[in-house]
Amino acid sequence: MSPIPPSPNGLPEAATVVSRPVSRCDHLGVHPFSDTQDGLFRAYLSDAHRSTCQQVAQWMHAAGMTSRTDAAGNLIGRYEGQTPGAPALLIGSHLDTVRNAGRYDGTLGVMLGIEVVAHLAERGERLPFAIEVIGFGDEEGSRFPASMLTSRAVAGTLDTLPLDAVDASGSTLGDVLYHAGLDPARYREAAYTPEQVVAYLEAHIEQGPVLEAADMSVGVVTAIAAQYRFKVSMVGVAGHAGTMPMSLRKDALAAAAQALVEIERIGASGPADLVATVGQLHVGPGASNVVPRQVTFSLDIRAGTADVRDRAATKIRTALQDITDTRGVALRIELQNDLAPTPCDPELTARLATSVARVTGQPAHRLVSGAGHDAMVMAALTPVCMLFLRCHKGISHNPAEAVRHDDAHTALLVMLDFIQALAATPAPTPTEFSA
């Protein structure tokens, strides 16, 4: 393996431990596993995504797995159980990233899944169930505005495939699938049946400050917050910057600016778990001497419960309507993603907490995830649980994202303990879990 680029942050490490999953994330953190020469951006079905899947498939094979690419472009490694074709424990996370990403969001969960299997294979251990490690291709929605596309395909909950969705280069999802050799008509063949699956486990960096503040290396997720993603459009009238009087303007950008401040005020006025974010904004026609005609921006609203999320969304919608009515600007709000709050399975979560206590000697820290994860989609297919790893200052979606090697090693030990305990009791069928 070529020399691994140093971790971007040179964290004070417990020198005794080098976590191969962390080192592999560092290896994947640069071109050709990134679509950008500097920093990390790995887009669904891009060249970097393809190179990454080739490299990760090699690591899956070295760990004793077979690998395949499913109809949605997910990379899936399988480690057979004691009987070929047995239902599988799915261990997954995503390989795509946001723009200017950190190296561990998503990818670390896939690397830890491979490491679990490598440890079992080294010992020649076979379990009453198979293990499948899934590297989801599109969780972030960073190429096309439809996040969790590929876990929805696996969970069988993808009602429409947005083939006309367009990426930054103007390519449609349909074009990109075609060039990747994927047939849109067969996309849904990626779906599993509940009978094929024992449960779903996802390890992921916390992307928040809670575990670091509690000085805990790992934590157990009790639930994942509800999430809305909207696309907001405001259309006014373009005008000459020099001749159009201020009183006669229908300035779309001024309307959007007022809207953003109001969105922030409403987000900040709710309970602590309510958040509202505008991450993308595009202005047209975009000339310095033209009064802006149209603005489109993203709107991301989340909360621990659907009720808090929905009430905030209603307040924001009303505020935006008032602003645009007053300014004579047209408003359009399109819902792009509606993710319900997802409780993790209590039985699995209790088992995971027991494993944390056994490995760390401390009671497991339980927390809600404000970040979305493929686990919230996979809950429609099978019981899910999530293990969080402490990350440096809670930083994520940022090149300064960092995780400690010793924490990743602790997470590996917890996952192995959890899996062996799951194997020690008769692998319960999904109906037993969901009872």
How many Cα atoms within 13 Å fall on the side-chain side of residue 175? 11
Q: 3-class DSSP state for residue 292? A: coil
Residue nearer to Mn ion on the CB measure, 106 or 219? 106
Report, in Å, the least distance between residue 140 CB and ligand HGY: 5
- Integer CA distances (angstroms), 116 to 122, 172, 420, in order: 10, 37, 11
**Shortest approach of Mn ion to residue 261 CB, angstroms?**
26
C-beta of 129 vs 388, nearer to ligand HGY: 388
3-class DSSP state of 59: helix
Which one, 139 or 212, has the nearer CB to ligand HGY? 139
The answer to whether 267 touches 375, Cβ cutoff 8 Å, is no
Nearer to ligand HGY, 237 or 275 (CB): 275
Q: How far is the CB of 136 from Mn ion (least distance, A)?
A: 9
Beta carbons within 10 angstroms of residue 182's beta carbon: 21
Nearest approach, Cβ of 140 to Mn ion (angstroms)? 5
Choose between 98 and 352: whose C-beta lies nearer to ligand HGY: 98
* Tokens (6 digits) for 275: 């958040």
Question: Between the CA of residue 182 and those of 70, 155, 187, 353, what are the distances in Å?
Answer: 9, 18, 7, 40
Q: Considering the complex, what minimum distance in angstroms separates the CB of residue 372 from Mn ion?
A: 8
Contacts of 349 (CB under 8 A, 6+ apart): 220, 221, 222, 366, 385
Whose Cβ is closer to ligand HGY: residue 7's or residue 147's? 147
Compute the least distance from the CB of residue 147 to ligand HGY, in Å.
6
Q: Which residues partner with 264 through β-bridges? A: none
Shortest distance in whole angstroms from residue 41 CB to ligand HGY: 14
Residue nearer to ligand HGY on the CB measure, 20 or 94 = 94
- Taking the complex as a whole, the smallest distance from the CB of residue 433 to Mn ion amounts, in Å, to 24
- The listed partner (Mn ion, ligand HGY, none) that binds 372, CB under 5 to 8 Å by sort, is ligand HGY
Closer CB to ligand HGY, 148 or 415, in the complex? 148
Minimum Å distance from CB 103 to ligand HGY?
Answer: 14
Distances (CA, A) of 398 to 1, 24, 101, 155, 421: 26, 18, 5, 29, 36
Lookup: tokens for 23: 């080192």
Binding site for ligand HGY (CB under 6 A): 139-140, 147, 371-372
Name the site residues for Mn ion (rule: CB under 5 A).
Answer: 105-106
**Among residues 293 and 392, whose Cβ is nearest to Mn ion?**
392
Closest distance of CB 144 from ligand HGY, Å:
13
Q: How far apart are CA 255 and CA 324, in angstroms?
A: 6
CA dihedral 385→347→361→210, nearest 10 degrees, is 40
Nearer CB in complex with ligand HGY: 88/158: 158
C-alpha distance from residue 96 to each of 50, 52, 321, 367 (Å)? 11, 10, 35, 25
Backbone angles phi, psi at 189, to 5 degrees: -70, -10
Q: How far is Cα of residue 16 from the mean position of the Cα atoms in its chain? A: 31
Structure tokens at 68: 């395949």
417 Cβ neighbours under 8 A, 6+ residues apart = 355, 358, 359
